[in-house]
Amino acid sequence: MSVNLKIDPYGFREYDARWLYEKDINLLGITNLGKGLGTQIIKQTNKTNPKVIVGHDYRSYSEDIKAALKKGLVSTGCYVEDVGLSLSPMVYFAQFHFDSDAVAMVTASHNDNGWTGVKMGIRKGLTHAPEEMRELKEITLSENFVNGQGQEKKIENFQDIYKQNLIDNNKIKKKIKAVVACGNGTAGIFAPDILRGIGCDVIELDCNLDWTFPKYNPNPEDLKMLHAISDAVKKNNADIGFGFDGDGDRVGVIDNEGNEIFSDKIGLLIARSLSNKYKNSVFVVDVKSTGLYANDKLLNSNKCKTIYWKTGHSHIKRKVNNENALAGFEKSGHFFFNEPLGYGYDDGINSAIQVCHLLDDQNKKMSEIIKEIPKTFQTPTMAPYCKDEDKYALVDKIIKDIEKLKNEKVKIDDQEINEILTINGVRFSFKDGSWGLIRASSNKPSLVIVTESPTSDDRKLKIFRFIDSLLQKTGKIGEYDQKI
């Protein structure tokens, strides 16, 4: 290994790669990542010169990162097709459009400035799963690379093709007034144009590109961003507010009264609407999502089935693909629409378009539509700091603690735990439909905590306090990113 090479092994995460640049990785490390990825693509496709689509987000250093990554890919024999400044879904779309063998998108999504990373995939519409990440890590760190003669070419104006693809067939009849917020991230040069293109009256909020993210990170789960959208919706008397993350694969939604609608509830509204047209459909949701899907009367009457699955865009994408589900929804704002609505991958702008169709199809305001599903009291997603090397073992311990409490019939706020789901961390539920979730974050040194109660805000809070007391006893957690 070269003396100057820097590549922290913890940067290889569950389904993508993320590092603090240049603290945890340098350009030589990125080039080795490119060599590792190129070797993996060649191995999996059995092609000497596989075609790889590459794009980058708007961070100040992303083009340097991309150049180093391409150097590594080309050295293994890959033919790189560079689509330039991109959203992650634009890169995924390009793989279908050009019938390419793989994708590599340089982005740290909504992570703070200083972070970099790569989202990659080989099978169309899917991104790396944990086993592929482990293989990539092994190839890269052992420097077990193939050598070949690759090449690269720039693809001009692909942004326009991507935009037009979303505009075509998605025109709406109503003039929906939409606040479109991009937190100065890359979605700013895509989302307003596309939503205008389908027929929305667009009010732009922080859509100019600024990699310093002067106001807040472009993250539709960030309360600061959501409050800014809410203010703009009320001030402009808008019908809807959309907030997009840094690489455009997620969306957050604010209704016409300025209230945030958590993405799992938006997913439920879309699923209900789709179920009328596509009966017997399967939907996939993540373990952070509302418990309402399981007993929804409309979904049940349309003979639709909902599967709760592991959180993470890669996990849900694969489950949607494997189950041939119509759509998948994550509480974080990743939505996945399969044929005929999409190609199965997560595209925040396509998700916003589906919300516009929901409004277009019903002669109701968003605040009225949301009242059609039962009210529940939900926490935002909360992330207490926990070291990468500690987080999985800590969650395993918490699972055992909660299983013990269930077996011993211990009451939490006067109710016993009646069900435990351990597909991804631990989600424990009660008879009244309340639940709590503790899992390890897939892309940051932290845990993820969510609680929900259909009964009361107080009950939601008590379940959170119970979780927090369990965690505090371990001595392994630090500050929360946000807390109720």
Q: Tell me: the pLDDT tens digits for 343-370? A: 999 999 999 999 999 999 998 999 999 9
Which H or E element spans position 366? helix 366-370
Q: pLDDT tens digits, residue range 100-137?
A: 999 999 999 888 889 999 999 999 999 999 999 999 99
403 has a pLDDT exceeding 80: yes
Fold of domain 9-156: Alpha-D-Glucose-1,6-Bisphosphate; Chain A, domain 3 (3.40.120)
When pLDDT is averaged across residues 46-67 and rounded to a whole number, the result is 97
181 has a pLDDT exceeding 80: yes
Q: pLDDT tens digits, residue range 374-396?
A: 999 999 889 999 999 999 999 99
- List b or e across 371-406, with b for residues whose CB sees 16 or more CB atoms inside 10 angstroms: eebeebbbbbbbbbbbebeebeebbeebbeebeebe
1 has a pLDDT exceeding 60: no
89 has a pLDDT exceeding 70: yes
Q: 51 with 94: CB under 8 angstroms? A: no
Q: Residue 252's pLDDT band (boundaries 50, 70, 90)?
A: very high
Question: Within the chain, which residue ranges are assigned CATH 3.30.310.50?
Answer: 377-474
pLDDT at residue 393 in the model? 97
Which architecture, in CATH terms, is 377-474? Answer: 2-Layer Sandwich (3.30)
pLDDT at residue 154 in the model? 98
CATH class of 273-351: alpha beta
Q: pTM of the prediction?
A: 0.89
pLDDT at residue 225 in the model? 95
Q: Residue 2's pLDDT band (boundaries 50, 70, 90)?
A: low
Q: How many CA atoms lie within 13 A of 69 on its CB side?
A: 27
Backbone angles phi, psi at 44, to 5 degrees: -80, -30
pLDDT at residue 233 in the model? 98
Instruction: Spell out the residues 6+ positions from residue 275 whose beta carbon is closer than 8 angstroms to its own.
Output: 281, 298, 299, 302, 304
Mean pLDDT across the chain, nearest whole number?
Answer: 95
pLDDT at residue 483 in the model? 87
Q: 118 with 86: CB under 8 angstroms? A: no
The first and second tokens of residue 44, run together, are 């999996």
Which H or E element spans position 426? strand 426-430
What residues are paired with 285 via a beta bridge? 308, 329
CATH class of 161-260: alpha beta
Other beta carbons less than 10 A from residue 47's beta carbon: 15
Q: Residue 3's pLDDT band (boundaries 50, 70, 90)?
A: low
pLDDT at residue 110 in the model? 81
pLDDT at residue 223 in the model? 86
196 has a pLDDT exceeding 70: yes
Q: 246 with 217: CB under 8 angstroms? A: yes
Measured distance CA(365)–CA(463) in Å, rounded: 33
When pLDDT is averaged across residues 158-184 and rounded to a whole number, the result is 97
Q: Give residue 149's Cα distance to chain centre.
A: 35
The first and second tokens of residue 352, run together, are 């916003």
Question: Within the chain, which residue ranges are assigned CATH 3.40.120.10?
Answer: 9-156, 161-260, 273-351
The residue among 364 and 262 whose pLDDT is bigger is 364
Q: Residue 270's pLDDT band (boundaries 50, 70, 90)?
A: very high
